[in-house]
Each structure stands twice: as structure tokens, then as C-alpha cells.
Amino acid sequence: MTPVLMRQRPDRTMAEAARGDGGTRLDHLLVADMIEPGSRVLDVGCGDGELLKLLEARGVDGRGIELSREGVNECVAKGLAVVQGNADTDLADYPDDAFDYVILSQTLQATQRPRIVFEHLLRIARHAVVSFPNFGHWKIRLLLLFGGQMPTTANLPDTWYDTPNIHFCTIKDFRQLCDVVGAKMEKAVALNAWGRPLRLTAPWWFWNLLGEQAVFLLSRRR
């Protein structure tokens, strides 16, 4: 199986670059706020460990998986517990209920088998935090409708023939997958291009049209 790229290239999307007062990435703050302090967390595709560092500062017992050698080495050098691995093949190695939370940030769309990865997330942890770029955003719809080509945007700059993102989905699609795998939605936030949350009270169709990315907190429905 081809390895899945996990944030292998430098982070460069606008949303990911958006930072709060202390220089912390806004999307990281949002994810961190969904996690109970003191819990055990696995960050799948943890990159250079920035989110794990933030979580550890909040008293979370964090672990990571990262595909890129550079990312792993950077994390270990920071004192984080990170193993080199691949979401598609290595999640199966973790026992049931090994963690309280598992985080899959901007990686689901780059996996070979998103459904199987998703099922593993809910098996190894009670809760899963999943974020992904929303392919239902109005700009992307317009680009495809009027341009007639696979859309590229500031947040998703890769061409179709040279991208790690092989399984794009919309917010609506993702909600459907949650039903398929038996995941209960506890929280959902759609973010605009700058990583700021959209209005909380908006209906789903509105989020699916105006959210550039989405973050879901899920749990097992059993």
C-alpha cells in the first residue's frame, strides 16, 4: 500500500497559518479546547508536534504518529513521544480503548481507506477529533461548475495529479460517514478561510457552503 502523506509538506494553508495572540494556531486551539485536561491522546499525523506540545502544556498525556522522518525527529528532539508510522497501516497495531481521544487533523482526505481509518479511531479511543478541508465550500463548487476543472484554492493549492489528498469530502459527506460507522457527533465547528469559527447557530447547509474546513468531536454510539 502506498504510504499516506501526513502533513509532509510545510504547513501553508491560510487556516493553518492563522495564529492567535500567543502565536498558537487557531485550529490547534480549537482542537485543544475539545479535549479534557489530563486525558490520554493520540495525534495521528502530528507533524512537527506543535499541537502535542500545546496539549502537554495543558496536562494531557499525548502521543503521536507521524509519517515523515523529519517530523518524527523534530518531535522526539522536543521530548514528545512520537512513533514513525502510517495511518492506513499502523492504527491496527493499537489495542482497543488505548486512548481517551484520538486526533486526525487534516489527514483523513489523504488516507487510502478513510472508512477503515475512521473505524480504527473509534476503536482505539472513546472520542475522536477529526478535521478536514470542506470540498462543499462555495468557491470550490463554483470553480468546478464554471471552470470545469478540479478546483485549486489558497487552502488546497495542489493540482489533482500531484496531491496527497485522494479522498476529498464535503461536510455533508462526512456526516453521512459518521452514520455509516456509528459515530455520534458531540461537537462540530466550521471554520472560515482564516481558521475562525462560523456562527454556531447556522444550519448544516450553510456550514457546508461557507466553511472552508470543519472540526468534529465524535464518540462511539454504543
Binding positions for other proteins, rule: CB under 8 A: 61, 63, 69, 72-73, 75-85, 93-95, 98
| 83 or 116: CB nearest other proteins | 83
Spatial CA neighbour of 174 closest among 127, 144, 218: 218
Do 112 and 4 touch, CB atoms closer than 8 A? yes
| 73 or 152: CB nearest other proteins | 73
| 28 or 63: CB nearest other proteins | 63
| CA-angle at 9, arms to 141 and 86, nearest 5° | 95
Q: How far is the CB of 46 from other proteins (least distance, A)?
A: 11
Q: How far is the CB of 81 from other proteins (least distance, A)?
A: 5
| 36 or 93: CB nearest other proteins | 93
Q: How far is the CB of 69 from other proteins (least distance, A)?
A: 6
Q: DSSP characters for 6-65?
A: -S-SPP--HHHH-B-TTS-BHHHHHHHHTS-TT-EEEEET-TTSHHHHHHHHTT-EEEEE
Q: How far is the CB of 1 from other proteins (least distance, A)?
A: 15
| 79 or 147: CB nearest other proteins | 79
Q: How far is the CB of 14 from other proteins (least distance, A)?
A: 31
AA letter at 198: L
Do 65 and 46 touch, CB atoms closer than 8 A? yes
Do 55 and 62 touch, CB atoms closer than 8 A? yes
Q: How far is the CB of 183 from other proteins (least distance, A)?
A: 23
Query: Pairing state of beta strands 99-105 and 81-84?
Result: unpaired
What span, in angstroms and rounded, lies between the C-alpha atoms of 207 and 124?
29
Query: Is residue 85 helix, strand or coil?
Result: coil
| 19 or 78: CB nearest other proteins | 78
Q: How far is the CB of 40 from other proteins (least distance, A)?
A: 9
| 38 or 79: CB nearest other proteins | 79
Q: What is the DSSP letter of 132?
A: E
